[in-house]
Amino acid sequence: MNHRFWMNLLCVALLTLILLHGASRGHDDVVKIGAIFTLKTINGRVSKIAIQAAEKDVNSDPRILGGRKLSITIHDSNFSGFLGFIGALKFLVTDTVAIIGPQSSVMAHVLSHLANELHVPLLSSTALDPTLTPLQYPYFLQTAPSDHFHMNAVADLISYFGWREVIAVFSDDDQSRNGITVLGDKLAERRCKLSYKAALPPDPTATPSHVTGQLVKIKSMESRVIVLNTFAQTGLLVFEVAQKLGMMSKGYVWIATAWLSTVLDSTTSLPSNTCNSIQGVITFRPHTPHSRKKQAFISRWKHISNGSIGLNPYGLYAYDSVWMIAEALKLFFDRNGTISFSNNTNLSGTREETLDFGALSVFDGGKELLDNILRINMTGLTGPIQFGSDRSPLNPSYDILNVIATGYRRVGYWSNYSGLSVITPEKLHAEPANRSISSQHLNRVIWPGNTTEKPRGWVFPNNGRQLRIGIPNRVSYQDMVSQINGTNAVQGYCIDIFLAAIKLLPYAVQYKFILFGDGHNNPSYYNLVNMITSDVFDAAVGDIAIVTDRTKIVDFTQPYIESGLVVVAPVKKLKSNAWAFLRPFTPQMWGVTAFFFLFVGAVVWILEHRTNDEFRGSPREQIVTVLWFSFSTMFFAHRENTVSPLGRVVLIIWLFVVLIINSSYTASLTSILTVQQLSSPITGIDSLISSSDRIGFQVGSFAANYLTEQLNIPKHRLVPLGSPEEYAVALESGTVAAVVDERPYVELFLSNHCQFSIRGQEFTKSGWGFAFPRDSPLAIDMSTAILTLSENGELQRIHEKWLSEKACGFHSTEDEQLKLNSFRGLFLICGITCFLALLIYFLSMVRQFNKKSPQKVGPSNRCSSRSARIQTFLHFVDEKEDVSPKLKRKLDYISSNRLRSISKRVQEDISQEAP
């Protein structure tokens, strides 16, 4: 900020000197406006012509200013901030009510302080630094979309094509530097990043040596997506040097900001070497909708410019800026405003030997004029003109241009309303906003190298270094990754998958394998992954499980094999015996089933006893009937018929329960008798957690951390084991009750140790993948290659080559046994049905007993004891109920049908026995 401080002091000194020389005041019928541009630049020349045309158009219509005339003085800053300040000072001491400009953001930062103090509005369509905010600079107004929106459009374009790392080349001035800062923030929102910022001297002081030094560095870097944010002279120099260095060839992506579109629009003819150096570049241009007014101005442009330069959007914005001031002045004068200036009270008492700050004057109507400009609602050459609450033009949008041999072509649009589209922004504004990924579209782009294939956007750094790939130097399960063959080359299941995936990449990868570990113990996989973050390795290949802690520091590829922790424990074979038919149900299940058989039989007997003769008789006969009826329902062979509605409901529910139990028992018994069974006190991870037994784990595996941190198992219960042989010895000797390891290892272990088995299900779900640094594009390409291997069957072939041995085919008895919990719902439904039936039956009996008891019980018994009344009630319940004629006919019909059926079977038997 020191250079700004001294510039401000210089400005004040110059201003005072000019004031002391006595600047002249203007006439009331002339409204003075200043303009500051560098007339040797494209935008300066175009803006000058447009401003003069606007001045003529305003003055030709006396209705605008009520007979007054605009007098616009254009000052040439000639690339010099000093001369720009001089021009501003001249304007500020000659009753200038507004200034169009300055052209550069560097001057805008300084002159805005003067404008704030003297209340003179500054309107600029080219000083688009996003840090020129209205809170700090209330009298500065950007009439074109600021670089905040421009960089948002660039970030959306980069995200649309899926590039993750970007290099920025920019001029080291306020506007370009601050624009790149905004671009970095916008990219971060889209999970992209600026990997390198190459600063060049401010335009136009950059030399070929400056540019060459930066581009040589960029050429050796990984990213091939380059954003060029500068101005015309420096920008064209960058492309010429890039062409010589071979950086405009296939594989590169060049995105130029709007400076290049102004060159293409305004330069009548470019040198052939310049045209060749910008082929395939993408650039942006502020979008201005088509209109008759715009078309008419374009038609007269050749005349007013004498064919010296072409029109670009910034000329249209300059023309509209004059009309905005004119419309604001019209409203100012319509409200009886007068142009007057007064002394600055803050400086009136400040007087030095040579400086008289009190001579500075303030535009009294400056605040009102600024408010009128902000309330503008008109249509200009650039379309509808209106400012939002943040003082930015409404609905900022850009054309996206692709430079080709014949000039350029538009491949789409960007608008702050709907993002990327091939439909014009004004049409999209008539529809609901849609920023979804599926709605973002662009036409085909021709990239550098004259190719339509989208560049990958990155390459391996051209520094002669091979990709350093760390692989675990395993002691156990070497077939997985680190088996050393006769030529001292590393091979294994994971290595084969990596080599097959590398071959599918569309580019060559130079790499070397580096063993990680001492060769005596399995290495720590957490340490291996951390080596990537510390830049010891560029990647890690092996049986590396994708777990949460590791994904926080590195990126993994698509898993190439599924994995998960399982429990392995010793088991013993269950031999078939005379009581094998009892295995399908647990003892608890057998007990509950037997109870319900008796319970349902008793309930049906109670419901049928009064009305059904088949459920009556002597106590002995009734007990036999209940037992027979209960157990015969197991085979649906009960001969007793139910006649009461409640009895039939209970029987239907019970027969459904019996059907389910029979089917389940048959299926389970079939499995038990045909598959070899194993038994173990450990049934899975839950039983292991609840016990106090010791648990083995593989050295280097993530299982230890998972067991202690996630399952809260004390560390003293964990025993590290280094090889399959140690697994077997520890399990057989009882050193550990079980081993917890990943399924692929366990399957290899069980292929040679059939006395052990997996108990329960996997209690984690993960996979193995290759690890790369965060945001590495190689991780994405390798994931695509792994998916291709899966689709073409190569992944399965490699799996069969290294992991074809099959584990022992044993099943656990506990897995086959049917537990009570599986049938709890059925028994609950049946029990509730029986209870409700008994309740309804009891209430019905009480009701009938109360109706008949006065007739059967004499007056002398009314004061009898409660026990006598209960005895009477039980006797009433046990009595045979008089059956209605309809029900009696039904029972007789059932009995006759049964007798005919028995008679028919006897006759058939006799006929079969007859000679």
- pLDDT value of position 421: 96
Range scoring the smallest mean pLDDT among 364-378, 528-542, 879-893, 896-910: 896-910
The three-point CA angle 289-290-292 to 5° equals 135
Confidence of residue 676 (pLDDT cuts 50, 70, 90): very low
Q: Is the pLDDT of residue 736 over 60?
A: yes
Residue with tokens 């008798």: 673
The whole-number pLDDT of residue 623 equals 78
How many Cβ atoms are within 10 Å of 227's Cβ, its own excluded? Answer: 26
**Residue 907 binned pLDDT confidence (cut-offs 50, 70, 90):** low
Highest mean pLDDT among 166-180, 514-528, 735-749: 166-180
Which SS3 state, helix, strand or coil, does residue 356 take? strand
- 507 has pLDDT over 70: yes
Helix, coil or strand: residue 466: coil
From CA 33, how far away is CA 822, in angstroms rounded? 90
**Taking residues 5-21, what's their average pLDDT?**
47
Handedness of CA 60, 63, 66, 67 (dihedral sign): positive
Q: Quick check: 223 pLDDT over 50?
A: yes
CA dihedral 322, 325, 329, 330 (to 10 degrees): 60
Q: Are 239 and 248 in contact (CB under 8 A)?
A: yes
- Strand, helix or coil for residue 892: helix
Q: Quick one: pLDDT at residue 16?
A: 46
Position 474 scores a pLDDT of: 85
Q: Which amino acid is at 371?
A: D
Query: In 3D, which of 149, 195, 145, 197 has the Cα closest to residue 169?
Result: 197
| DSSP state for residue 524 in the 8-state scheme | P
> What integer pLDDT is reported at residue 426 of this predicted model?
92
Which span out of 440-449, 681-690, 869-878 was modeled with the highest average pLDDT?
440-449
Comparing 812 with 32, the larger pLDDT belongs to 32
Query: How confident is the model at residue 888, as a pLDDT?
Result: 54
In 711-802, DSSP assigns E strands to: 718-721, 738-742, 756-759, 766-768, 771-772
Q: Which residues pair with 812 in a beta bridge?
A: 678
What's the CA gap between 911 and 356, in Å, rounded? 144
pLDDT score, position 754: 80
Task: For the beta carbon of residue 504, count every other beta carbon within 10 angstroms.
Answer: 16
CA dist 197 and 175 (Å) reads 15
CA dihedral for 871, 875, 878, 881, sign (positive or negative) = negative
pLDDT tens figures, 829-885: 888 888 888 888 778 777 777 776 654 444 444 445 566 666 666 666 666 665 555
DSSP helix/strand/coil, 912: helix
Residue 512 pLDDT greater than 70, yes or no:
yes
Please name the helix (run of DSSP H) or strand (run of DSSP E) that holds residue 785, with its range, or none. helix 777-791
How high is the pLDDT of residue 484? Answer: 66
Q: How far apart are CA 624 and CA 790, in angstroms?
A: 67
Higher model confidence: residue 353 or residue 331?
331
pLDDT of 398-417, one tens digit each? 999 999 987 899 999 999 99
Q: Once rounded to an integer, what is the mean pLDDT over residues 755-765?
A: 84
In the prediction, which pLDDT does 802 show? 84
Q: What are phi and psi of 36, to 5 degrees?
A: -120, 115
Percent of the chain with pLDDT over 70: 81
Report the distance separating Cα 408 and Cα 375, nearest Å.
37
Phi-psi group of 758: left, alpha or beta (phi > 0 → left; psi -120 to 50 → alpha; rest → beta): beta
Q: For 312-324, write each residue's pLDDT tens digit.
A: 999 999 999 999 9
Cis bond before residue 130 (omega within 30° of 0): no
Is residue 810 packed enough to be buried (19+ CB in 10 Å), middle (13-18) or exposed (0-12)? middle
- The pLDDT assigned to 855 comes to 47
**Is a pLDDT exceeding 90 seen at residue 122?**
yes
**Cα–Cα distances in Å, from 588 out to 584, 591, 686, 695, 818?**
12, 5, 21, 30, 10
No. of helices (H) and no. of strands (E), the chain:
31, 34
Render pLDDT for 334-392 as a digit per residue (tens, 0 to 9).
888 888 888 766 655 555 444 455 556 889 999 999 999 999 999 999 999 999 888 99
pLDDT surpasses 80 at 15: no
Mean of the pLDDT values across residues 614-625? Answer: 71
Mean of per-residue pLDDT scores for the chain:
83
Tell me what pLDDT residue 1 has: 43
Using the predicted structure, report yes or no on whether residue 444 has a pLDDT greater than 60.
Answer: yes
For 153-183, write each residue's pLDDT tens digit.
Answer: 999 999 999 898 999 999 999 899 999 999 9
**pLDDT recorded at residue 224:** 94
- pLDDT score at 13: 47
CA quadruple 794, 797, 803, 807: dihedral positive or negative?
A: positive
Given this model, what pLDDT does residue 82 score? 85
700-725 average pLDDT score: 88
Sign of the CA dihedral with 718 first, then 723, 727, and 732 last: negative
Sequence-distant (6+) residues with CB within 8 A of 16 are 354, 355, 356, 357, 359
